[in-house]
Chain A
Amino acid sequence: MTNTKPTLAVDPGAIAAPHASTGGLVKTVVELDRVVIRLAGDSGDGMQLTGNRFTSETASFGNDLSTLPNFPAEIRAPTGTLPGVSSFQLHFADHDIMTPGDAPDVLVVMNPAALKANLADLPGGGLLIADSDEFTPRNLAKVGYASNPLEDGSLEGWQLVSVPLTSMTLDALKDSGLGKKEAERSKNMFTLGLLSWMYHRPTEGTIRFLERTFRRKPEIAAANIAAFRAGFNYGDTTEAFAVSYEIKPAPMAPGRYRNISGNTALSLGLVAAGQRSGLPVFLGAYPITPASDILHELSKHKAFGVRTFQAEDEIAGIGAAIGASFGGALGITTTSGPGVSLKSEAIGLAVMTELPLVIVDVQRGGPSTGLPTKTEQSDLLQAMFGRNGEAPVPVIAPKSPGDCFDAAIEACRMALTYRTPVILLSDGYLANGAEPWAIPDVDTLPDLRVDFATAPNGEDGEFLPYLRDPETLARPWAVPGTAGMQHRIGGLEKADKTGNISYDPVNHDFMVRTRQAKIDGIAAGLPPTEVDDPDGDATVAVIGWGSTYGPIGAACRRIRRSGRSVAQIHLRHINPMPSDLGDVLRRYDRVVCPEMNLGQLAMLLRARYLIDIESHTQVRGLPFRAAELAAVLQDAIDSTHGAPLGADATGGAE
C-alpha cells in the first residue's frame, strides 16, 4: 500500500454516470471524495488570482478546503523562466481536511517553465493540463527543453491534455475590441472557466467578482467574463475532456461560513479586539513580506477607529505603537522576522514600561532576508529570548488560517490584562493560505474592557505607577489627560511601586524576578493542555505549534486509520506554557516534535521539562507533507513496540 491516493480515473469509490451535456456529447460524471489541484504559470499569468477565485467558488459550494499559494519574491521575474513560476495549490473535499495536500492530483501548467518546475510533484498517472500555445521553441529553450515534452512522448506516465488555452481565449475575445496582448491576459479566466466546468463549481460568484473588480473598466470586465464562459463551454463541448468530477459538500457544523486567509483573519481579530475593548486600535507598521497584507487590511477599517501608521522603518512602527499605547490605545505592530530583529530594543522598552502591545511576526524563511515569500517557524527562540536583559514576553501562535482570528484576540487579551508586549507568531503559510471559517457571533467574543487608573493608589494620595494588581501583577494604566496621575516611565530600571529611577541592587533583583513572575503567572489563567487521543491508549505523543497543526493532524489521522494510536498536542501558548504540560508529556513513552526550524520548541521543552523530546525538522520553505510526518510517527510507534502495529500509514487520504 505505497500509494492509496485516489487517482482520478480509477478511484475505487468513484461513481460514474453518463451525462448528456449541452453539446450533445455523452460525458461522464465521476464522484470523488477529494482532489488536489495545482495551477502553475508565470508570475504575470494571474495564477494567484485564478486560485483564489477557484477557492471562493469551492468554498461557496460547501467543500472543505485548504490552500497553498507559492510564489517567488520577485514581482515579475523574466517571463517564462523558472524563477518566475508562481503556483497555487488547492485541496478540497467532501469531508474535513487539514492540509493543502502533499501532492497534486491535477496540474495545470501555463508554460514550459511551470511544467519543469512542478512536474516532479505530480504523481504518475495524474492529470496534466498544459497550454500548448506557450510551448514555443523560444519558451522551451528558456528552460532547457531540447524538444517539446507535449509531443516527444516524455509525459507518457501522466494523463496529458494539451489545450491551446491562449489561442482559444483570443478567439473568444476577437470581437471584444481588445488588443492581442490585453486579450491574452484573460487566459487565466478561460482556464478558470474550464476548471469550473470540470469540477462543477458555481460560476455566479466569479462573474460578480469580475464585475465588481473591473467596475471602472467595463470592457475588461466583459472580456474576462466572456473568457471565463468560453472556458466553461469549451469543457462542456470538447472531446478532450470526457469526464467531469463531482465533490459533494463537506458536512460542517451548522453556521455561517466564509473563506478566509490567515492575514485577513488576523486583521479582523485585531479590529474585533479594538471593538471589544472599546480602545482605539493603533497599528504602526513598515511594509514587509508576508505581513504587509495586515497593514493593507487594517487600513480599510478606519470607521472602526483603527489608525494605521506606515512608519519610516520597523523601529518607528513599534515606537509609534508604544507611544499610542502610552496614550491609551491598543498599540500593535506587524512585521516578519527581520523586522522583529530591528524592533528588539523597543520590545524591551515595552517590557520595562509594562505597556500593552501586540507584536505580530508573520514568520518567513531566514536568516537575514532569507526566503521572503516562503514559510518557516524559525523565529520562536528570537521571540522568546531575542532581547537584551531578562525580558520575558508572552508568545502565542495560531494553528490555522481561521484560527489567526482567535489568536489575535487572545494576544490582545493578554497584552491588555497583563500590561505587557505579546508576540503572536503567524507564518507565511497561515498568512496566505485559506480555509472555510465559521463566522463567530460578535456577542460571544471575549469582553476585553480595561479599567484605566483614574484615582491615586498610594497611601499619601500619590499615584504609584508600579503598584501592582496582586493577582495579575499588572501595573495600573493611567493615560495622559487624567488629572492627578502624572507620572514618568522609561527604560531605566524602575523602583518598585513608585516607578522612579532606581539603581538599587536589591530592587533590580526584585523587579527582574517580578517581571518574570508576571509572565509566568499568565499560565494560571490558561486552560489545561488539550490532548487529542481518540483511542486513549497512545504511548507516543506528537507535539507541535503554529501552522504545522494541519500536517500533523493529517498524519495522526493516517496513523489512526492504520490501526495505531497517537496523541496530538498542539500549543497555542508557548510562553508561558500551560501549567500541566510537563505532566502531560511525561505520560508518553516518546514525544515527537515536528517543526519547520532546527528544533526550537524541542529545545524549550527539553530545557523546561527534562524530557527527551524527539525533534523532527524541515526547513524547505514549505509546509510538512502529511505522508512524511506519518512515516516519522509510524516509525516512532513501531520501534517503541518492537514490531509494526498495523498497516502502512503513510499513504491515503486525510
Chain B
Amino acid sequence: MTTLPTHVHDLGMPGGGPIAAAIAQSVESHGPKQTELKAKDMKTDQEVRWCPGCGDYVILNAVQSFLPTLGIAREDMVIVSGIGCSSRFPYYLNTYGMHSIHGRASAIATGLAASRPDLSVWVVTGDGDALSIGGNHLIHALRRNVNMTILLFNNRIYGLTKGQYSPTSEVGKVTKSTPMGSIDAPFNPVSLALGADATFVGRAMDSDRKGLTEVLRQAAEHQGTALVEIYQNCNIFNDGAFDLLKEPATGTQWTIPLVQGEPLVFGPDGASCVVQDDFGGLRIAETNQVDPAEIVVHDAERENPAYAFALSRLSSQDLRYTPMGVFRSVQKPTYDAMMAEQLDVARAERAPDLDALLVGNDTWTVQ
C-alpha cells in the first residue's frame, strides 16, 4: 500500500502544491489508500436507471467487478462521460466522476488526464456521443495518446432521444427519423480509431463477461489512449442488433477471436481462417484450402496500423466476420508524460521567478 500516488509530486507545482497537500491530508485523516477493493465497494447509493434488460447493466456489473482488480484506489479513478444512455455510467461507480455535455467527454478527460498524470481516467461514451457530435474530440484524443481509457458503448441507435438511427447504424435502417431507411454509410469505430493512429483498440461484446474483462484489463494497463468498442444491446430501440454474434449457432461462425500469437482460425471446427490478400490486406479463406503457414498469426503489437486496419475491414455492416479482442496495442510516448517532461525541462533551464517575469527585458525607473 502506498501512501501517496507516485506522480503526485509532479503536478506542475513545487512540492505538488495544494493538490498534493489535500491528498496527503486525506491520507492522514482517512488512512492509507485502499487498493484492495471488492465489487460492492465500487457501487454508489444511486438507483440505476436504465431500461430493464439493457445491455448497460451487464457492462456495469462487469466493470464494477473488474475495476477493483486494478489495484487502484477509488479516489484515484475518474469516470468522465458525455450524454446518452451509457453516459449515466459515472453515477453508478463510487469514484470521482463527471457526467458532462454531449460529445465532449474526451476533451474534458484530456484536460484532466494531461494535468493529473497521477489519476486513472476513464471515458464512457456511446456511438452518437463519441462518433457523431463528439467525433472530432475522439480522433484528436486518439492521435494525442493522452493516458486514458475510452469505453465506447455501441448500440447502433440513439436510445435516449427515443430511437433515431446513429452513425453506426447499417444503411437502410428504418427509424423514426428515417421511415424509408437511412441512406448514410456507417462508421466502423475500430477502423476510425486506427485511422487516427490509436495506440490501443479493442472490441468486446456486452454479454461476454470474460472477453470484455480481458479487453478491459489490457486497455487499463495500456499507457496512452485506449479505445474499447463494446457492442451493447438496446432492447427497446434496436433489440437483437448483435444476435448474429451472440447466438451460439451463428456466433461461432461469424466471430473472429483475436488471440495474441495465435493463428486467426475461427468458425465451427476452425473451418475458416484469415490470410493475406493480393493487395496487402486480409481476406477470409477456408482453412482446409490454404497452407497452414499462410494463416495470419495475430499480432496486436505491430507498429504499422495497416494490419489492424485490415482486420477491422473484414467485417461488414451485417456483422459477419467480426473480429473481437484487441486489434492493436503499441507503445508510444503519452501526451501527459511529454507535457510533464516539458515542464521539468523548462524548470531545469530557469527556475520560476515571478518578479523577473513581470520585469521582462526592457525597464526604466522613475525616481
Binding site for B on A (CB under 8 A): 56, 59-62, 205, 252-260, 268, 271-272, 275, 277-280, 282, 284, 301-307, 309, 311-313, 315-316, 319-329, 331, 345-346, 348-349, 353, 439-440, 442, 449-450, 452-455, 478-492, 500-501
Contacts and interface: CB of A to CB of B under 8 A. Distances in A.
B99 A489 contact: yes
Interface string B17-47: 1110111011101110110000000001010
Given A353-B98, A455-B29, A309 B111 contact: yes
A358 to B, nearest CB: 14
B108 interface: yes
Nearest to A252: B366
7 contacts: A59-B364, A279-B18, A282-B115, A326-B98, A454-B29, A483-B23, A484-B26
B355 interface: yes
Contacts of B29: 454-455, 484
A330 B164 CA distance: 39
Contact of B137 (A62, A280, A312, A329): A312
A319 B366 contact: no
- Among A284, A320, A485, max chain B CB count under 10 A is at A320
Given A56-B362, A304-B357, A309 B100 contact: no
Contacts of A500: 46
A278 B339 CA distance: 19
Contacts of A492: 99
Contacts of B33: 483
Contacts of B100: 319, 322, 349, 490-491
Interface stretch (B226-234, B249-257, B305-313, B346-354): B346-354
- Among B33, B118, B354, max chain A CB count under 10 A is at B354
B352 A303 contact: yes
Contact of B23 (A277, A316, A449, A482): A482
- Among B31, B98, B113, B342, max chain A CB count under 10 A is at B98
Contacts of A309: 110-111, 114
A189 B77 CA distance: 58
A323 B140 contact: no
B193 to A, nearest CB: 15
B212 interface: no
- Among B46, B98, B111, max chain A CB count under 10 A is at B111
B341 to A, nearest CB: 10
B123 to A, nearest CB: 10
- Among A59, A282, A324, A480, max chain B CB count under 10 A is at A480
B349 A254 contact: no
Contacts of B350: 303
B5 to A, nearest CB: 6
B354 A449 contact: no
Interface residues of B, number: 80
Given A315-B104, A324-B114, A482-B75, A59 B98 contact: no
A345 B101 contact: yes
A277 B97 CA distance: 25
A469 B227 CA distance: 40
A483 B24 CA distance: 9
Interface stretch (B88-96, B167-175, B184-192, B315-323): B88-96
A315 B98 contact: no
A290 to B, nearest CB: 21
- Among A279, A304, A331, A500, max chain B CB count under 10 A is at A304
B90 A490 contact: yes
Contacts of A301: 346, 352, 357
B18 A328 contact: yes
Contact of B26 (A59, A258, A485, A488): A485
Contacts of B76: 480-481
Contacts of A442: 354-355, 358
B201 interface: no
Contacts of A282: 111, 114-115
Given A280-B13, A306-B12, A491-B83, 6 more contacts: A328-B22, A481-B118, A482-B22, A482-B23, A484-B29, A486-B94
A98 to B, nearest CB: 19
Nearest to A274: B13
A257 B339 CA distance: 34
A254 B30 contact: no
A302 B343 contact: yes
A256 B33 CA distance: 50
B290 to A, nearest CB: 44
A491 B22 contact: no
Nearest to A491: B101
A327 B116 contact: yes
- Among B8, B76, B107, max chain A CB count under 10 A is at B107
- Among B104, B109, B345, B359, max chain A CB count under 10 A is at B104
B152 to A, nearest CB: 18
Nearest to A304: B352
Nearest to A322: B108
4 interchain residue pairs of minimum CB distance: A320-B111, A490-B99, A323-B111, A319-B107
A483 B357 contact: no
Contacts of A489: 97-99
Contacts of A483: 23, 26-27, 30-31, 33-34, 73, 75
- Among B12, B100, B358, B367, max chain A CB count under 10 A is at B358
A309 B99 CA distance: 22
B11 interface: yes
B358 A323 contact: no
A439 B358 CA distance: 7
A449 B19 CA distance: 12
A346 B111 contact: no
B362 A484 contact: no
A305 B352 contact: yes
Contacts of A322: 100, 108, 111
Contacts of A61: 364
A481 B136 contact: no
Interface in B92-147: 94-102, 104, 107-116, 118-119, 136-137, 140
B360 interface: yes
A331 B111 contact: yes
Contact of B362 (A258, A271, A316, A323): A258
Nearest to B344: A302
A62 B366 CA distance: 8
A448 B2 CA distance: 31
A321 B90 CA distance: 20
A479 B116 CA distance: 10
B363 interface: yes
Given A328-B19, A452-B22, A490-B99, A303 B347 contact: yes
Contact of A307 (B5, B107, B114): B114
A116 to B, nearest CB: 35
A60 B365 CA distance: 9
A60 B29 CA distance: 56
B265 interface: no
B80 interface: yes
